[in-house]
Amino acid sequence: VVCAQMINTSATATEVVIKDGSTVMWRGYLSASMTQPLDIAFMTPLRGTAATAVNFACIATGANVYFNSQGYQAP
What pLDDT does residue 22 have? 96
d(CA 30, CA 37): 10
What pLDDT does residue 13 have? 97
d(CA 22, CA 30): 20
Burial 34-72 (b: 16+ CB within 10 A, else e): beeebebebeeebebeeeeebebebeeeebebebebeee
Residue 49 is classified by DSSP as: P
Render each residue's pLDDT in the chain as its tens digit; 75 residues.
Answer: 899 999 999 999 999 999 999 999 999 999 999 999 999 999 999 999 989 999 999 999 999 999 999 987 776
What pLDDT does residue 63 have? 95
What pLDDT does residue 73 have? 73
